[in-house]
Structure 1
Amino acid sequence: MPSVVPDTTRVVVVASSPRGLPIAEDFAVREEPLPPRASDQLLVRVDVLSLDPYLRSLLGQGHLDDPALGPGQVMPGRAVATVLESDDPSLPVGSLVLGETGWREHAVLPVALASPVRVPERVPASAALGLLGMPGLTAYAAHVRHLAPRPGETVVVSSATGGVGSLAGQLAARSGARTVGIVGSREKVALAHTLGYDQVVVRTESDWIDQLHAACPDKVDAYLHMGDQATLDGVVEHLALGARVSLCGLIDQSNGAPPTRFRAGAVMLARATVRGLVVHDHADLAAEHAERVGALLATGALGLVEDTWNGLEQAGAAFEALMSGRNRGKVVVQLHREGE
């Protein structure tokens, strides 16, 4: 670990507000001074930065209670970081913490808003940003409270190999359900099968509806939606009686598409239950999620898939890949490795 504390650090700022899909050139790296640290704050070095789809909303109208970002502002984001300076004995120098650092190499964080990284032995710390972090809790909450699959039922998951979908499919399979993953390219089919999906549908192919019907001959009992309007329409028109739908993400709307519409007639015909999912509403499941998913990761019963980019300067390109659906698993940017 460096013994000299830097006076400045590199950060990623918004260079221009994206129109439609964000591209790498919408972001720029610049140097800025590090603020002085107070006794109730930590100085940390960012080791692994999490990139998440909700950040796209901040480049438009804002996300929930968070206002929109404009050019020149630092991109927000959560990271696993190493403590370089601390006056708090519970988070000493050298410990790993989770915190909202933003897209930067170093950050000053309030002690109250940092938490120790806890992952099982032989599980990488980056899992705290993925399967054991917010995406994992999202998948777990959808599984437990919205989809509730029973043995033999058919569960469909869009964005099946992403940060949320990669866990959602595995949880459904462990419940005894038939699992069908929807992916954006033929190249992701093999990956989806390694994550336990029984059947895989490629939504960008012209016959994808036929693929869906063939994969779900008894229709769809539970559906986790994180895709576009066309995917939502195709699945909703193939719901089984009493189906459950969890609306988790509207990726095309985030990228500037018109507001998503729901086919009410298909929902009525299936007597389906449709629920919206915001992960912050399910914080009470966090301990249960961490314990159960952590135990499965520790034994190798769950697959951990990460799309790792190296270096802060790659954050913009990594975010472009994420928002265009080219990622394979949870997207993280590695800035430093443990022990360096």
Structure 2
Amino acid sequence: MTAPRRVPAVVLRRRPRGLPAPDDLVLADTELPSLADGEVHLAVLDLSLDPYLRSTLAGRHLGDAPVALGDVVPGRSVGRVVASRAADVAVGTLVLAETGWRAEAVVAAKTATPVRVPDGVPPSAALGALGMPGLTAYAAVVRHLAPRPGETVVVGAATGGVGSVAGALLRRRGARTVALVGDDAKAEDATARLGYAEAVVRGRDGWEEALATACPDGIDGYLHMGDMPTLHAAVRLLAPRARVSLCGLMDQYNGGPPTMLPAGAVMMARATVHGMVVYDHDDLADAQHDEVAALLADGTLVLHEERHEGLAAAPEAFARLMAGRNRGKVVVAVGC
């Protein structure tokens, strides 16, 4: 009998406490299941690293059970089909699938989605602008923020996978966009590469005054992806009838205290606050794909990625992401 094949994967070595450390995760050889009817064997090309994985590791993501020690870290990838026992999926097809952090994976063919990207756009866009982060941005813009021409909209984590897409979608609808970022390099990315009108580096001395200066008529829309002090500073500047989309709570992902919303400021602004769960907006996926693909194709939207080489780089890249040190959507190039 032929011994089962073993392939590299990243597994949970130690459950993170607070900010994840690279050695919470470890590269190990894991068994690759045999290919059964209705399944495809994928060689993983590009692996997506996403902030929600931090709460998944702790079992706090929408009620999911925690990842057990020694289990492969979950995650989504672009892969190439290298073997197929599904009549409708040909060898060589590029697909998007939940593979986990593996070099190779066997998945049910019905769960693998063919990758669709415009000519000249890399397949990894299916993990970011054309994938779940892009859908998050699109749903927040069209259903929560609903910008009117000339309004000022502030975007937290403005250079990341969600924020970079949201900025382009907002500007297409005539909004003036202000970026909230973590350092000067990201501020340069926001204004020079991504088209934001202004960028404010949160957390440094005087940043709240800088945000007020950047939004002299108040904030008409706010896409929140940050910590509680950032949320409070933005909400205090809300204009009448403002809209807020609570899209990400980075401090809570890392085990911080519950985020409290300043209700008085919300009431004074007569603001509307929405909670974002992207899975509620799957009906928008086709519209999101068409609009974002067009923006990528004509160069209005820059695909802003931070790429790391090799599966072994994933633990350090994830630690960078959760500490806010990344610049762009984080992708690990696993194969070619």
Shift of 1:34: 1.0
**Uncovered stretches (5+) of structure 1, i.e. residues with no partner:** 1-5
What corresponds to 1:226 in structure 2? 225
Any residues of structure 2 matched to 1:324-335 within 5 Å, and which?
Answer: 324-335=323-334
Deviations 1:220-249 (A, max 9, x none): 000000100000000001100000000001
| Code of the aligned partner of 1:251 | M
Matched residue SS, 1:200: strand
Distance 2:93 2:289 in 1: 20
What corresponds to 1:197 in structure 2? 196
Distance 2:288 2:84 in 1: 30
Shift of 1:170: 1.4
Q: Which runs of 4+ in 1 moved over 3 A?
A: none
What corresponds to 2:23 in structure 1? 25
What corresponds to 1:322 in structure 2? 321
User: Does the 8 A contact of 2:168 with 2:300 survive in 1?
Assistant: no
What corresponds to 1:249 in structure 2? 248
Any residues of structure 2 matched to 1:134-153 within 5 Å, and which?
Answer: 134-153=132-151
Distance 2:120 2:101 in 1: 27
User: Does the 8 A contact of 1:10 with 1:30 survive in 2?
Assistant: yes
User: Does the 8 A contact of 1:16 with 1:70 survive in 2?
Assistant: no
Deviations 1:78-135 (A, max 9, x none): 0000101102242111111110000000000001111111111111000000000000
| Code of the aligned partner of 1:227 | G
Distance 1:187 1:83 in 2: 38
Matched residue SS, 1:127: helix
Distance 2:274 2:248 in 1: 12
Q: Mean Cα displacement is larger for which, 291-300 or 278-287?
A: 291-300
Find out whether 1:287 has 2:304 as its counterpart. no
The structure 1 residue matched to 2:62, chosen from 56, 61, 64, is: 64
Q: Report percent identity of matched pairs.
A: 56
Shift of 1:7: 1.7
Distance 1:263 1:204 in 2: 18
Matched residue SS, 2:161: coil
User: How many residues are paired up?
Assistant: 332
Distance 1:334 1:150 in 2: 39
The structure 2 residue matched to 1:158, chosen from 156, 159, 174, is: 156
What is the alpha-carbon root mean square deviation over aligned residues? Answer: 1.0
What corresponds to 2:35 in structure 1? 37
Distance 1:76 1:184 in 2: 27
Distance 2:236 2:250 in 1: 20
Distance 2:320 2:36 in 1: 38
What corresponds to 1:108 in structure 2? 106
**Uncovered stretches (5+) of structure 2, i.e. residues with no partner:** none
What corresponds to 1:180 in structure 2? 178
What corresponds to 1:301 in structure 2? 300
What TM-score does the superposition give when structure 2 sets the normalisation length? 0.97
User: Does the 8 A contact of 2:42 with 2:83 survive in 1?
Assistant: yes
User: Does the 8 A contact of 2:177 with 2:196 survive in 1?
Assistant: yes
Distance 1:234 1:71 in 2: 39
Shift of 1:321: 0.8
Distance 2:17 2:255 in 1: 7
Distance 1:65 1:46 in 2: 28
Distance 1:12 1:303 in 2: 30
User: Does the 8 A contact of 1:225 with 1:232 survive in 2?
Assistant: yes
Find out whether 1:276 has 2:254 as its counterpart. no
What corresponds to 2:258 in structure 1? 259
User: Does the 8 A contact of 1:103 with 1:312 survive in 2?
Assistant: yes
What corresponds to 1:13 in structure 2? 11
What TM-score does the superposition give when structure 1 sets the normalisation length? 0.96
Matched residue SS, 1:287: helix
Shift of 1:70: 2.8
User: Does the 8 A contact of 1:185 with 1:204 survive in 2?
Assistant: no
User: Does the 8 A contact of 1:62 with 1:69 survive in 2?
Assistant: no
Distance 2:239 2:294 in 1: 33
User: Does the 8 A contact of 2:36 with 2:85 survive in 1?
Assistant: no
Distance 1:224 1:109 in 2: 35
Shift of 1:316: 0.4
Shift of 1:204: 2.4
User: Does the 8 A contact of 1:42 with 1:111 survive in 2?
Assistant: yes
The 1:280–1:105 alpha-carbon spacing in structure 2 relative to 1, beyond 3 Å, is same
